[in-house]
Amino acid sequence: MTESEFGQLVIKIGYVLLAARSAIVGVFLLRYSGAPDHAVLRPLFWYALFALVIAIFESSFIGLVNTFPDFFVPYLTKFEIDDTFFISPLYYLNEFWFLGLFFSRILQEPTGKLIRTVSVCFFVLEIFNTLFFEGYKDAQKIGSFCLALYLIVVSVLFFKQHFINKIGNSLSTDALNLIVWGFFCINTFSILILFFSDRLYNDLPSLFYQISMGRMAIEIFGLLLIAYGVRLFKAS
């Protein structure tokens, strides 16, 4: 399979990823007809909704550029944009803010308060990183690394708290555990490939695309796990 064919396959998997994001919002709409009343799930709903809107914009952008290259390419060249990396900071800001709120509400105090403070700090730092440091034209290694590591850490904190306070509960039947496992799976795999992405892209582009598809498959699985957790959630 050529590099171009790999690229087209990645785009197709991207549409499946979009459908997985839609599944989370769909579950919220079916169960709650919108934003849930429960304080724990409310930030998760807004995270899912904004992530879906951003993903639709990203997919539409790719489709328009591929359909009308003669119109869009000159503008993209003028602004030195050769990929969709300029959209990534929107994902990061969305996750720092709303997932920070989500984890701050499922973790006991004083940890929850600390998570809220750290999330706001990361949100502000990501804005500065986009405007003055890493920018938006290329992949943000520091931004993506900090986000993935942060979500891994807060997930581990939740698991630790869960085992201490609810040692008798099964991970497979606990809704919040399913949701957190979804985020943990997504970010654990993401942080692993960050270390090798540049070298693979330059030396072994075919392997890079294969790993990218694997990452997207893991992300789809994680998002569906989150959607299933939302479906099972019952306020205590």
Residue in 164, 175, 154 with CA at minimum distance from that of residue 230: 175
Topology annotation, domain 3-232: Rhopdopsin 7-helix transmembrane proteins (1.20.1070)
Of the pLDDT bands very low, low, confident and very high (cuts 50, 70, 90), residue 173 is very low
Find out whether the peptide bond into 110 is cis, omega within 30 degrees of 0. yes
**From residue 164, how far is each of 158, 182, 183 by CA, in Å?**
10, 21, 21
CA distance 118 to 125: 10
Tell me, what's the pLDDT at 99? 97
pLDDT in tens, 93-113: 999 999 999 999 999 889 999
| Mean pLDDT, rounded, for 35-59 | 91
Tell me, what's the pLDDT at 171? 47
Token pair in block for residue 150:
């942060």
Tell me, what's the pLDDT at 24? 95
194 against 40, higher pLDDT: 40
Burial class (CB in 10 A: 0-12, 13-18, 19+), 153: middle
Cβ neighbours for 75, distance < 8 A, ≥ 6 positions apart: none
Tell me, what's the pLDDT at 8? 74
pLDDT in tens, 27-40: 999 988 878 878 88
Cα distance between the two ends of the chain: 52
